[in-house]
Chains A and B, each alone.
Chain A
Amino acid sequence: MLDDLLQRLRSKDRLALARVLTLISRDEQLAEIRKAVGPKPDATPVIALTGNAGVGKSTLVGKLAEHLRAQHKTVAVLACDPESPLTGGALLGDRVRMPSRPDDDGLYIRSLAAASGHQAVAEHVDLMIRVLSAFGFDVILLETVGAGQGDTAVRSLADVVVVLLQPESGDELQWEKAGLLEIADVVVIHKSDLPGAERLQSQVRELLSLPGCRQIAVLPVSSKKNEGFVELWQAIVAAPRRDGPLEPAAQFLLRRAQQVLADRLLDRAGNVGPVVDRWKRHELDEEQAADELLHRLIE
């Protein structure tokens, strides 16, 4: 069943692609899929777009995708929306603002639900990216939920992180926005047609020109007027790879290891149950419980 699906995936069957992404989103047959697709080639850029709700991420992603299609680049979009912590339901409405091009096979848009918590993207997006890349898309655009500030997953998933800001009515650049700027490779002043855009742009530039800061492009973009996209793509292409305290590759491996560990522990339910009970009864604190689990795994 899966073999057949993977075979079809290799033959560039679009329905198979969609189905494989569903399997991944449901945590099904990840190891097999991982084996079947290779690692993501560096040549397929993954661009994450993040920013507060209402800043226009979807609209910009849509316009950027059109821009890229005009350059004959094939584009896959993963658009994330939050999942309700209570019901598990989600309203996946990002594609409303994206172009509807049913005849264009060079554009693929997929909506994903990101589990509640401080998740900016859905689970296993890394594997989805590998699948999309293996399928042959030239560029992958990843739209996060709300603001992805502080979510290191986005940084390790994407080659370039684009942070969107918009002019607010009369406010100074708020300090919490500065947190967003830590993960940015490119900053977009979106809705640049609105008053206050230029002021915001200079504020951001000032903030980023502090000594020791990396070079970060700050660009005005207006989706309404379709302006700024040429410069945006150029800036994305030119953005230097970020060097954090840990190389992205190492960070990525660490997260994978964490995931593998958690999966293995859960597979041995007998191991986990008693420890959880003792933790619930306050006989162990979290650190001690984690140690317990680790020991049981090693045994």
Chain B
Amino acid sequence: MNQNPQLRIVLAKVGLDGHDRGVKIITRGLRDAGFHVIYPGLWQSPEAVVRTVADEDADWLGISLLSGTHLTLVPRIMELLKQAGLAHVGVLVGGIIPEADIPKLAALGVARVFGPGTPLPDIVDFLRSQGSRTHA
């Protein structure tokens, strides 16, 4: 019996933005912390992200947005997740998000927003404290 099942997290870069420095660091950091990280690469459409989350049975989805399109792309993804029966999946958003918009994202169901330069241990600790959303 696997005593400590590793959490599965999909890290997605959505939209046209190609800055992947942050998401690649987090990918590596989470792996080093014992997570199973699925990184499907750049330029993911919201539909592709949701399909990946579904097929990989991910516990968490981390959306990386650096260019500020959070108010168009995140609502779309949250809607698609709901439609696909994946409302239980925990969603994190990372990137340059103005303070004023964080409550809006929370209202959509985003669990946490991590700004640029968030220390890796903070993200790891948060995920560990939340545990698996899909398994008892």
Contacts and interface: CB of A to CB of B under 8 A. Distances in A.
Interface of A: 14-15, 18-19, 21-22, 26-28, 83-84, 87-93, 95-96, 100, 102-103, 108-111, 113
A89 B37 contact: yes
Given A14-B54, A18-B56, A110-B55, A91 B37 contact: yes
Contact of A14 (B1, B2, B28, B55): B55
Contacts of A95: 38, 40, 52
Interface stretch (B43-51, B66-74, B94-102, B112-120): B43-51
Contacts of A21: 57
B56 A111 contact: yes
Given A26-B5, A88-B6, A96 B40 contact: yes
Nearest to B8: A22
Interface residues on chain B, size class: 35 or more
B74 to A, nearest CB: 17
A89 B35 contact: yes
The dominant DSSP class at the A interface is mixed
Contacts of A27: 1-2
B38 A92 contact: yes
29 contacts: A15-B57, A15-B85, A15-B86, A18-B54, A18-B55, A18-B56, A19-B57, A22-B8, A22-B135, A26-B5, A28-B1, A84-B34, A87-B31, A87-B32, A87-B33, A88-B6, A88-B34, A89-B6, A89-B37, A91-B28, A91-B37, A92-B37, A95-B38, A95-B40, A95-B52, A96-B39, A102-B50, A111-B38, A113-B6
B57 A18 contact: yes
Given A18-B57, A19-B134, A100-B48, 20 more contacts: A27-B1, A27-B2, A28-B2, A83-B36, A87-B33, A87-B34, A88-B4, A88-B34, A89-B33, A91-B28, A92-B37, A92-B39, A92-B56, A96-B39, A96-B40, A96-B41, A100-B51, A103-B47, A110-B55, A113-B6
A41 to B, nearest CB: 23
B31 A91 contact: yes
Given A88-B34, A95-B38, A102 B6 contact: no
Nearest to A93: B39
A90 B36 CA distance: 5
B88 to A, nearest CB: 10
B56 A26 contact: no
B39 to A, nearest CB: 5
Q: Ordered nearest first, which 9 A-B pairs have the shortest CB separation?
A: A18-B57, A102-B51, A102-B47, A96-B41, A89-B31, A22-B57, A89-B34, A87-B34, A100-B48
B37 A109 contact: no
A202 B50 CA distance: 45
B36 A113 contact: yes
Residue of A21, A84, A89 with most chain B CB atoms under a 10 A cut-off:
A89
Given A100-B44, A103-B47, A91 B4 contact: no
Contacts of B6: 88-90, 113
Nearest to B50: A102
Contacts of A93: 38-39
Interface string B17-35: 0000000000110111111
